[in-house]
Amino acid sequence: MALLELRNVEAYYGPIAALKGVTLDVNEGAIVAVLGANGAGKTTLLKAISGALDPEAGTIRFAGAEIQKRAAWDVAAAGIAHVPEGREVFRHLSVADNLKMGGFLRRDAGGLAADLERIFGYFPALRARVREMAGNLSGGEQQMVAIGRALMARPRLILLDEPSLGLSPLLVQEIYRIIGRVKADSGVAMLLVEQNAKMALDVADSGYVLEGGRIVLAGSAERLRSNEDVKEFYLGIRDAGVRGVRRWKRRKQWR
């Protein structure tokens, strides 16, 4: 049984269907990438899992228990941490207080202190700015705070929404290096939503392609990297040629 299981999940914004029968799995300790263009439904998918948006249909199971339509704080208490798109740090709180907010459900003071040190080990730049207001940090440093805040909850699953968004190539590489290190150190599972397909597939075990609210392709990260359509439209490799473009347009064979 997978740690996270979605089966035929549908979600709407008013009359507009944002998710259309989405089915996917995340295994314990795995990194699963969800690729897709703007408007594909990637952020909606994470919101439906974390409780920020109630799905209209389908089931979402985490560790065997159904969590669809449960309150966001209840989902967090179950072991899911959400790193939203755009970082969403508490701008008028210090770096230290932002990180401590991630552990607001915990009662083990000693464990929190140890985890704070662990976060500073991953992100040494934050130690030097621990008393700085988070709103004064660079975009890359804010992303570090957001990921660190999620880790302070000691979750079993982290939902990462576009961690590379708006960052320089060097910072993107650093963020993804840390993502790989966190997986190796802690074994926490991650559902990683990204437009930067190359970075996502380099760190992921498997992945899905989401288009128009539907899963149109799924497989191991290696399989997706070698898929001609993914190479052409997500990895920017042009050797797929006209045949690949035609294959992409004939999406009915994917569904």
Domain spans of the chain? 4-87+157-254
Q: What is the pLDDT of residue 238?
A: 58
**143-159: burial string, b at 16+ Cβ within 10 Å, e else:** bbbbbbbbbbbbbbbbb
Q: What is the pLDDT of residue 247?
A: 52
Decide which of 1 and 163 is more confident. 163
Q: What is the pLDDT of residue 245?
A: 46
pLDDT band at 195; cut points 50, 70, 90: confident
pLDDT band at 168; cut points 50, 70, 90: confident
Decide which of 238 and 84 is more confident. 84
pLDDT band at 157; cut points 50, 70, 90: very high
* Dist CA 187 CA 156 (whole Å): 8
* Dist CA 36 CA 194 (whole Å): 7
CB 2 within 8 A of CB 163: no
**87-99: burial string, b at 16+ Cβ within 10 Å, e else:** bebeeebbbbebb
pTM of the complete model: 0.88
Q: What is the pLDDT of residue 239?
A: 54
Decide which of 221 and 249 is more confident. 221
**CATH number for the segment(s) 4-87+157-254:** 3.40.50.300
Which residues partner with 238 through β-bridges?
Answer: none
In sequence order, what are the residues at sequence separation of 6 or more whose Cβ sits closer than 8 angstroms to the Cβ of residue 109? none
Q: What is the pLDDT of residue 240?
A: 43
Considering only CA atoms, which of 223, 224, 202, 205 is closest in space to residue 29?
A: 205
Q: Is the pLDDT of residue 167 over 70?
A: yes
* Dist CA 129 CA 47 (whole Å): 30
Task: Give CA separation, 186 vs 71, 81, 155, 190, in Å.
Answer: 26, 14, 10, 11
CB 63 within 8 A of CB 75: no
